[in-house]
């Protein structure tokens, strides 16, 4: 003969397990739905990344932001692009290099454009601008560290 107390316990446990199974089934459906959403998001991200890379390659340099302010990045020198597209400070730097009798050091450029060349922390940003102008094709840097206009 079956013990009624044991039957009640078995029935109660079966109800707990049925409830747990139902919760787990709902969670499984939610997990699968989220996994599908992530896969779709990944495909969209890959597509958008490819499109952005193509747009950036074809668009060339664009203004950036520093401290919430729009700043013009130094464009690459190309045929038909004049110095007037450069920020005023960079135009002054190129003019100072051009005015020199020959290749110049950053210190000499700083003296012409009004940078306190006795303070290294004031000279380094100028040197950085000179190098950026070299990288973009506006100036040329000689092996000895002096700068000149491009030929």
Question: In tens digits, what is the pLDDT along the chain, a chain of 151 residues?
Answer: 789 999 999 999 999 999 999 999 999 999 999 999 999 999 999 998 888 877 766 655 555 666 666 655 777 788 887 888 888 888 899 999 998 888 999 999 998 988 888 888 888 998 999 999 998 888 999 999 899 986 5
DSSP structure class, residue 104: B
| Residue 71 confidence (pLDDT) | 59
Rounded Cα–Cα distance for residues 63 and 61 (Å) = 7
Rounded Cα–Cα distance for residues 84 and 131 (Å) = 19
Total count of residues recorded for the chain: 151
* Among 140, 135, 141, residue whose Cα is nearest residue 61: 135
Rounded Cα–Cα distance for residues 35 and 41 (Å) = 10
Residue 141: other Cβ atoms inside 10 A: 15
What are the distances in angstroms from CA 79 to CA 82, 84, 123, 134, 149? 8, 13, 31, 16, 16
- pTM as predicted: 0.52
């Amino acid at each position: 003969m079956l013990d009624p107390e044991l039957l009640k316990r078995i029935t109660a446990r079966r109800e707990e397990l049925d409830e747990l199974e139902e919760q787990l089934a709902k969670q499984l459906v939610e997990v699968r739905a989220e996994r599908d959403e992530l896969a779709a998001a990944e495909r969209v991200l890959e597509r958008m990344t490819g499109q952005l890379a193509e747009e950036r390659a074809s668009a060339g340099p664009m203004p950036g932001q520093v401290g919430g302010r729009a700043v013009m990045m130094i464009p690459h020198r190309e045929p038909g692009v004049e110095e007037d597209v450069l920020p005023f400070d960079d135009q002054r730097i190129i003019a100072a290099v051009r005015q020199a009798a020959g290749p110049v050091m950053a210190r000499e450029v700083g003296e012409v454009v009004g940078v306190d060349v006795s303070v290294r922390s004031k000279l380094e940003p100028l040197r950085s601008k000179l190098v950026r102008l070299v990288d973009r094709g506006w100036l040329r840097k000689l092996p000895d560290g002096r700068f000149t206009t491009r030929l």
